[in-house]
Structure 1
Amino acid sequence: MTTTATLRPDCSKCFALCCTALGFTRSADFAIDKPAASACPNLAEDFSCAIHQRLRPRGFRGCTVFDCFGAGQLVSQHTFGGTSWRQNPASASAMFDVFKRVRQLHEMLWYLEEARRRTFDPGLASTAAHLAEQLAAIAQGDAATVLGADVETHHWQVRNLLMEVSEEVRASYGAEGHQTHDGGLQPGADLMGADLANRRLCGADLRGSYLIGANLAGSDLAAADLLGADLRGANLAGADLAKALYLTQPQVNAAEGDGRTLLPPELTRPDHWLRQPGTRVPG
């Protein structure tokens, strides 16, 4: 059975697939251009990052935001049997493609596990568990199984379930009445730089919203749907996200918080929040 523990990255068991399979463009998040399917120049021979402790000051903030949802170690140790792309260069292309696909599957598994836990409807919980079993079976299959899967169909099925659970959970917190001077809190809203500090945002539907640089300090986001919301640079100081819906580690990593910010128990407080690595925040 897939749990949130198996959906967390373990870089010690991965062949640095995020540093090789994925490409990035020079920007505020990355100091250089790097094509996909090529090793980052900061990659050491043992697959560790030579500047891991200095990524942000060296201009690689994007690396500190990324999370593979445990896909790296599964593909490295299970799918390809512990033989790295350096040991077998002919496997590199397939390994990188499988990694990208498994990451998508694992991200969906993360959301399904939360939906299963949060729903009040036994039928929806059963559907979430069934979908999770299907996706886990694909992710744990061989390379051909992973690459041959119809991921788009699974995305559609998972999305519909997540929305149904969201409506149910948000309604239990009173989802109506959320208004801002920017036209209201709604899916996909442009809330970049918005001042939403010290607000009761319980049950708000912020799915896919642009909250880049928004001020959410001191706000209560219990049951707020944050699926796909862009939280880059958002101020979460003192905010309560312990019961936020569909919040992920990459979103938290991209935001700014402090010692008072409350997160779900399955998420970790980022290093750049001036806390010790690995500190967990109670839910």
Structure 2
Amino acid sequence: MNTDDTTPGWGDRLNTALLRMLPQHLLSRGMYHLARSETGWLKDLLIRYVVTRYDVDMQEALVEDPYAYPSFNAFFTRALKPGVRPLTQEGMASPVDGKVSQAGRIRHDRLIQAKGHEYSLYALLAGDGFMASQFESGTFATIYLAPRDYHRIHMPLDGTLREMVFVPGDLFSVSETTAELVPGLFARNERVILLFDTDRGPMALVLVGAIFVGSMETVWHGEVRSPDDGIARWTYEGDGAPHFSRGEEIARFNMGSTVIVLNTQHAVDPVNGLVGRRVRMGEKIAD
């Protein structure tokens, strides 16, 4: 876990260099199986490390005893007690717990990744020109989930799902320091793009995978993968299109990562002082 000082040090540079050389997907597949092991001593060892290392607040959890979970992944994707994440009654809600690493206006096709680093909206959306054109000159918010955070993803606005896209890619860490070291990080990593219709126009949530993120899953589809290791698309129309209310759970990370929220021009106005803040799911992040 990085401190608030996100200036990359030699350790960060070394770790990033190692990730370039290591078999990222093989390591993540290993973590996928390890996290689902129900061997008592093993899952308890993993849970104990995370609870202690990252000071996880188990009093918020629906099941407070961390060792009552059947696997490390069940602990990591734990549900919260009702009412511990009050939902804003106006504006757009944060879809997750996490730290807002960047937010603001999309400058035509360019988003800020980190100080002094930009990347392409077109690349982030897997080269889909029509989808990208809807968000040009709009707004974005990038929220990083640390290991201590709640790892379920909820709707920022009422919306109807229109498309889901799985994009294969690298599995670099998505920490703030790595974002300063890997150009186009969020457009290079594996990700799931969710496109919704809302009363404020199209909205996209981009769920970015990372090293040791075993998988991403949605409430309507389950684990999202490609049948042939390429880009995969699912479209939803008519009565078959899932509709969700603001604050409703839609997905979860099996291990931590990053969510990028995209809105069209003039749809929302991010609240002041958002960048660098820790936010909680349900908290207002835009008017």
TM-score by length of 1: 0.26
Q: Which has the higher helix share?
A: 1
Greater C-alpha Rg: 1
Q: Which has the higher strand share?
A: 2
TM-score by length of 2: 0.25
Q: Whose relative contact order is higher, 1 or 2, with alpha carbons under 8 Å and at least 6 apart? A: 2
